[in-house]
Structure 1
Amino acid sequence: MGRAKLTIIPPGKPLTGRAMPPGSKSITNRALLLAGLAKGTSRLTGALKSDDTRYMADALRAMGVNVEEPDDTTFVVTGSGKLTAPAGPLFLGNAGTATRFLTAAAALVDGTVVVDGDAHMRKRPIAPLVAALQSLGIDASAETGCPPVTVHGTGKFQASKIQIDGGLSSQYVSALLMMAAGGDRTVDIELLGEDIGALGYIDLTTAAMQAFGAKVERISAVIWRVEPTGYTATDFHIEPDASAATYLWAADVLTDGAIDLGTPADAFTQPDAKAHAVISAFPHLPAVIDGSQMQDAIPTIAVLAAFNETPVRFVGIANLRVKECDRIRALSTGLNAIREGLATEEGDDLVVAADPSLAGQRLEASIDTFADHRIAMSFALAGLMVDGITILDPDCVAKTFPTYWQVLASLGVTFEDDAG
Structure 2
Amino acid sequence: MNDLPLAYTITPPLSPLTGRVSPPGSKSITNRALLLAALANGTSRLTGALKSKDTVLMARALREMGVTVEEPDATTFLVTGTGRLAAPPRALFLGNAGTATRFLTAAVATIEGTVIVDGDEDMRLRPIRPLVDALNSLGIAADAPTGCPPVTVRGTGHFGTGRVEIDASLSSQYVSALLMAAPFGAGPVEVALTGKDIGARGYVDLTLAAMRAFGAEVESRDDGSWLVQPTGYKAADFHIEPDASAATYLWGLAALTDGAIDLGVPANAFTQPDAAAQALIAAFPDMPAIIDGSQMQDAVPTMAVLAAFNNRPVRFVGIANLRVKETDRIRAVANELNRIRAGLAREEGDDLVVNADPSLSGQTLPARIETYHDHRIAMSFALAGLRIGGITILDPSCTGKTYPEYWDMLSGLGVELTATE
TM-score class, shorter: over 0.9
In the alignment, which residue of structure 2 is the partner of 1:224?
226
Is the partner of 2:154 in helix, strand or coil?
strand
| Matching residue within 414, 417, 420 for 1:415 | 417
In the alignment, which residue of structure 2 is the partner of 1:364?
366
In the alignment, which residue of structure 1 is the partner of 2:36?
34
Range moving further from structure 2, 160-169 or 329-338: 160-169
Counterpart-to-counterpart distance in 2, 1:320 and 1:182: 32
In the alignment, which residue of structure 2 is the partner of 1:272?
274
Counterpart-to-counterpart distance in 2, 1:96 and 1:299: 18
Amino acid at match of 2:301: P
Is the partner of 1:385 in helix, strand or coil?
coil
Cα distance, 1:113 vs structure 2: 0.8
| Matching residue within 113, 127, 152 for 2:154 | 152
Is the partner of 2:261 in helix, strand or coil?
strand
Aligned residue pair count: 419
Cα distance, 1:209 vs structure 2: 0.1
Cα distance, 1:197 vs structure 2: 2.2
Moved over 4 A (4+): none
Query: Is 1:106–2:105 an aligned residue pair?
Result: no
Counterpart-to-counterpart distance in 2, 1:239 and 1:256: 26
Counterpart-to-counterpart distance in 2, 1:274 and 1:131: 33
Query: Is 1:117–2:119 an aligned residue pair?
Result: yes
In the alignment, which residue of structure 2 is the partner of 1:335?
337
What are the equivalent positions in structure 2 for 1:80-99 lying under 5 Å apart? 80-99=82-101
Range moving further from structure 2, 347-356 or 165-174: 165-174
Counterpart-to-counterpart distance in 2, 1:409 and 1:388: 17
Amino acid at match of 1:145: G
The answer on whether the counterparts of 1:102 and 1:175 sit within 8 Å (CA) in structure 2 is yes
Is the partner of 1:195 in helix, strand or coil?
coil
In the alignment, which residue of structure 1 is the partner of 2:130?
128
Cα distance, 1:157 vs structure 2: 4.2
- Normalising by structure 1, we get a TM-score of 0.99
Counterpart-to-counterpart distance in 1, 2:217 and 2:43: 20
| Matching residue within 401, 404, 416 for 2:403 | 401
What are the equivalent positions in structure 2 for 1:58-97 lying under 5 Å apart? 58-97=60-99
Counterpart-to-counterpart distance in 1, 2:103 and 2:368: 35
Cα distance, 1:2 vs structure 2: 4.6
What's the RMSD between the two structures over aligned residues? 0.9
The answer on whether the counterparts of 2:135 and 2:142 sit within 8 Å (CA) in structure 1 is yes
In the alignment, which residue of structure 2 is the partner of 1:10?
12
The answer on whether the counterparts of 2:26 and 2:242 sit within 8 Å (CA) in structure 1 is yes
In the alignment, which residue of structure 2 is the partner of 1:298?
300
Structure 1: runs of 5+ lacking an equivalent: none
Is the partner of 1:341 in helix, strand or coil?
coil
Please give the per-residue CA displacement for 1:306-340, whole angstroms capped at 9, x wherever unaligned. 00000000000001000000101110011000000
Is the partner of 2:42 in helix, strand or coil?
strand
Is the partner of 1:219 in helix, strand or coil?
strand
Counterpart-to-counterpart distance in 2, 1:180 and 1:5: 44
Cα distance, 1:409 vs structure 2: 1.0
In the alignment, which residue of structure 2 is the partner of 1:288?
290
Is the partner of 1:244 in helix, strand or coil?
helix
Is the partner of 2:362 in helix, strand or coil?
coil
Cα distance, 1:158 vs structure 2: 4.5
The answer on whether the counterparts of 2:161 and 2:186 sit within 8 Å (CA) in structure 1 is no
Is the partner of 2:316 in helix, strand or coil?
strand
Amino acid at match of 1:351: V
Cα distance, 1:192 vs structure 2: 1.9
Is the partner of 2:131 in helix, strand or coil?
helix
Structure 2: runs of 5+ lacking an equivalent: none
Please give the per-residue CA displacement for 1:232-275, whole angstroms capped at 9, x wherever unaligned. 00000000000000000010111110111111101000010011
Is the partner of 1:332 in helix, strand or coil?
helix
Amino acid at match of 1:29: N
Counterpart-to-counterpart distance in 1, 2:315 and 2:175: 28
What are the equivalent positions in structure 2 for 1:210-249 lying under 5 Å apart? 210-249=212-251
